[in-house]
Amino acid sequence: MSAISIYFLYIWDETMKDKVVIITGGSLGIGKACAFEFGRKGSKVVIAARNEQSLKETVAELKKEDIDCLSVQVDVSQEDDCKRLVQETIKKYGKIDVLLNNAGISMRAAFADLDLSVIRSLMNVNFWGTVYCTKHAMPELIKSKGSVVGVASIAGYVGLPGRTGYSASKYAMKGFLDALRNENRNTGLHVMVACPGYTASNIRKAALIADGSKQGDTPLDEEKLMTAEEVAKHMYHAVRGRKREIILTSQGKLAVWINKLFPKLSDKLVYKTVVKEPGSPFK
Residues that are catalytic = 166
Q: How far apart (Å, rounded) are the C-alpha atoms in residues 19 and 40?
A: 12
Q: How far apart (Å, rounded) are the C-alpha atoms in residues 162 and 172?
A: 17
> For residue 130, how many other CB atoms are within 10 A of its CB?
30
> For residue 119, how many other CB atoms are within 10 A of its CB?
18
Q: How far is CA 64 from CA 39, 49, 67, in A?
A: 12, 20, 7
Amino acid identity, position 6? I
> For residue 63, how many other CB atoms are within 10 A of its CB?
12
Q: How far apart (Å, rounded) are the C-alpha atoms in residues 257 and 246?
A: 13
Q: How far apart (Å, rounded) are the C-alpha atoms in residues 222 and 217?
A: 11
44: β partners: 20
Termini Cα distance of the chain = 57
Q: How far apart (Å, rounded) are the C-alpha atoms in residues 114 and 164?
A: 10
Cα diameter, the chain: 63
Amino acid identity, position 121? S
Candidates 6, 30, 12, 74; CA nearest to 246 is 30
